[in-house]
Amino acid sequence: MKKLAIYTLAAALLGSTLYAVSAAEKAAEPAQAAAPAEAAKEPPVCFESRKGASEVTQKEVKPGLPNVKCSPTTGAALWYGDPYDGTVPMGKMPGLEKLPAGHAVVKPRSEKLALMPMCGTACHNGVGPNANPPTLPKDKRAKPNPTMEAMVPDLANLQHGRGRIWCMDCHHTTKRNMLVDHFGDPISFDQPQLLCGKCHGDKLRDWRDGIHGKRIGEFTSTGKKRWFTCTECHNPHNVQDGARNRGFAQLQPEPPPQLPKGMKDAKHEKLHPIPH
């Protein structure tokens, strides 16, 4: 009986050991299966300043250094390892003639507009009985066009100028893949500040002087910087934010920074040596 008990105990131990090994192998199988899926994971894409305006895909510019870091909370670009990635020279800009060539760069918007290459050829090619010269409504009311409104939903309720301007005040009449200045000359979509400055001269001046807008790059000297243009922050078709009816759509703020270790709150910031 004693030998039988020993044999039974040994068999039980062997069985439990084999079960544990088998279970461990089964647990490892999903991890191995997940490895290829992990390797195929798409790199993060974060937006800059305004969702839908410009985006940047994260990649390594140096070992361990990404070109951009995305916020895990909002998906916005937090900081840049390469602030000039994908930029081009800004081009001629009145008031900035003294700026050394190549010191001001922008990220082209035109290459992000998928329909723009067709705008001036497929639909608005500047020819035809009603388009040479184009016949434009004197009341500046665009005719409802379901196809156009489907492609650009903001046009169904254009909120720029509170009904006092219309499409052709900003878009070139015969070159629809270009914007237009006061003299009828075309403006590139990559230089929207030249268009916005037609009416918003004070904002253009502040943007040019660095009071309004955003720049990143070399700040320890007068070196190269990336300038964010108007449409990277503002949607020109929705400047009243719908029912809110004031200003542009608000951006979701980032969470507040963490308090220093040992500090429970930030009430000290409410104190000021001068009563106000």
Which of 131-135, 154-158, 265-269 is predicted least confidently? 131-135
Q: How many CB atoms lie within 10 A of CB 1?
A: 5
pLDDT band of residue 202 (cuts 50, 70, 90) is very high
Task: Please give the mean pLDDT across all residues of the chain.
Answer: 80
Question: Where does the pLDDT of residue 120 fall: very low under 50, low under 70, confident under 90, or very high at 90 and above?
Answer: confident
pLDDT score of 39 = 58
Of 17-21, 162-166, 229-233, the poorest mean pLDDT is in 17-21
Residue 190: is it exposed, middle or buried by C-beta count within 10 angstroms (0-12/13-18/19+)? buried
Terminal-residue alpha carbon distance, the chain: 94
- Examine the pLDDT at 249 and tell me if it is beyond 90: no
- Per-residue model confidence as pLDDT tens digits over 82-108: 999 989 999 999 999 988 888 999 999
Name the β-bridge partners of 179. Answer: 171, 187
Going by pLDDT thresholds of 50, 70 and 90, the confidence category of residue 269 is confident
DSSP 3-state of 141: coil
Mean pLDDT of 152-175: 83
Confidence band of 10 (pLDDT split at 50, 70, 90): low
